Amino acid sequence: MDKNGKNLDDLQDLNRSSVIRHLAMHEGCSRVELAKVTGLKQASITKIMRALVENGVVAETGFTEGLKGRRSIGLSLNYSKYMVIGVKVAWERLSIGVFDLCGRVYGDIFTCSFDYLDLANAESAVALIAQYVEKFKARHPGVIAVGVAAPGPLHRGEGSVYVTADGREGRVYFPFLKKIRERVALPVVIDHDANAGALGYWWFRTNCDARMALLYLLASEGIGGGVVSKGQIITGQRGHSAEMGHMIVEFGGRKCVCGGRGCLDAYASSIAVEKRAHRVLPEHPGSALAGKGRVGVADVFSAMRRGDEVAVGLVREAGVHMGRGFASLIPIFDPDLIVIGDLMAYGGDVLLAGIDEVLGRSLSRFYKKPRIVLADPGDDLVLLGSAAIAIDYAYSHPTELLMPGVS
């Protein structure tokens, strides 16, 4: 039987969390408003706010217009008191930075590259993470938690990443979360990189708009996806929900790295575009890409911007396949906003034209077409999202992390 009961301490932490989350989304609200939206009695709100103000978690920000025109004291989280460490583990790079609760970076971001995320490099990454967590803690005593964004497939419950074991073929699960927790004294939480990107965009680019359902497509060497609804990541029972890279867009089509066929990853990732370029270029000797030897996705985007027909066709084709994926996802998640981030966002209007081509003729009239935006590829939403993961955990455990020692 699941142990779903709540003792008094659990309920107190849950109530504090509810208040803090509303404050994070509604700067300057009053105690009366908090009681109304949380359903807590005014006496409970008064008690909670007394503890939060006395411990410096919340500050009173002067008078604001309250209910029925009455003046009330506005409240705000003390965003600068606490910090978190965000860690992005990618297939060929590690990035670590310190963020405050508003997502602002403090100091430099540490980055390093490696050949590929195999077992040896995963062990090295854990050692570097532990080393830099200690360095950042020494510089910033307000650090309270560490958030890690890792590539999929990720076993979310165990925090294990499917890394290569023999070249780039054989793969095994590496217990990232367990290994980091063994070497780091702070609370550590982990999530899929696409989930982190979705949460980071929702948290810091939409101002925590709880009414917005957001679908984020991490489109780089591989394809990942995350969905935020009512301020929460949709994960599914085993943490694999919204793994958009492995939805089928061409039944029985190209073989994917996952072993399946016809996955979006095999049609719309940067690697898929590069492979497609090498297949079609022999038929187009007049293309600016012909005769270049190995063609990278950056070459394709560069030629696309110069109007090369082959490059334009390659990017538009990737957009068409993304559109097929979105056409299937929109009726399921009904998003208000779709965000495409990372390398493939360089596809710009050409990529969007391919998406629009499909949605224009495929989307049911019962569903509205969501707004689709391309995130700035230089805006590292996954690293920002790793900080959001840690912040989200802190807001869910306020007694432990924001006001330790307070009963």
Q: Determine the Cα–Cα distance for residues 34 and 301; give it in Å rounded to an integer.
A: 50
Residues 6+ apart with CB under 8 A from 220: 269, 270, 342, 343, 344
* Least confident window among 126-130, 226-230, 307-311: 226-230
CATH class of 8-77: mainly alpha
Report the pLDDT value the prediction gives residue 241, as an integer from 0 to 100: 60
Instruction: Tell me how far apart the terminal alpha carbons of the chain are, to the nearest angstrom.
Output: 29
What CATH number should be reported for the domain whose range is 83-200+383-401? 3.30.420.40
DSSP string, 58-78: EEEEEEEE-GGG-EEEEEEE-
Report the pLDDT value the prediction gives residue 109, as an integer from 0 to 100: 92
* Least confident window among 119-133, 203-217, 274-288, 331-345: 203-217
Other beta carbons within 10 angstroms of residue 339's beta carbon come to 26
Residue 242: how many CA atoms within 13 Å on its side-chain side?
A: 28
The percentage of the chain sitting over the pLDDT mark of 70, rounded to a whole number, equals: 92
Q: Residue 68: is its pLDDT beyond 50?
A: no
Name the helix (H) or strand (E) containing 96: strand 93-100
Cis peptide bond prior to 335, omega within 30° of 0: no
Report the pLDDT value the prediction gives residue 67, as an integer from 0 to 100: 47
What CATH number should be reported for the domain whose range is 209-379? 3.30.420.40
The percentage of the chain sitting over the pLDDT mark of 90, rounded to a whole number, equals: 48
CATH code 1.10.10.10 region(s) in the chain: 8-77
CATH code 3.30.420.40 region(s) in the chain: 83-200+383-401, 209-379
Task: Specify whether the CB–CB gap between 297 and 270 falls below 8 A.
Answer: yes
Q: Determine the Cα–Cα distance for residues 314 and 142; give it in Å rounded to an integer.
A: 48
